[in-house]
A = this chain, B = another copy of it.
Amino acid sequence: MTPQRRVILDLLREKRWHPTAVELFRAVRRRLPRVSLGTVYRNLDLLSQAGKIGRVDPPEGPRRFDGFMERHTHARCVSCGNVEDLEYSGPGWTEVLRVVTGGSETTESGFRLTGHRIEFEGTCARCSLEERAGAG
| Interface set of A (CB-CB < 8 Å, partner B) | 9, 11-14, 16, 18-22, 24, 44, 48, 51-59, 61-69, 74-78, 82-86, 88, 90, 93-94, 96-97, 100-101, 107, 109-125, 128
Integer count of this chain's copies in the complex: 2
Query: What are the residues of chain B within 8 A of A9 when measuring CB–CB?
Result: 67
Contact in complex: A16, B107 (CB < 8 Å): no
Closest beta carbon of chain B to A121's beta carbon, Å: 4
Query: What are the residues of chain B within 8 A of A107 when measuring CB–CB?
Result: 75, 84, 86
Contact in complex: B121, A65 (CB < 8 Å): no
Contacts A12-B67, A68-B16 given; indicate if A113 touches B122 (C-beta within 8 A).
yes
Which residue of the partner chain, among B19, B74, B94, contacts A56 with CB atoms under 8 Å?
A: B74
Contact in complex: A111, B12 (CB < 8 Å): no
Query: What are the residues of chain B within 8 A of A90 when measuring CB–CB?
Result: 96, 100
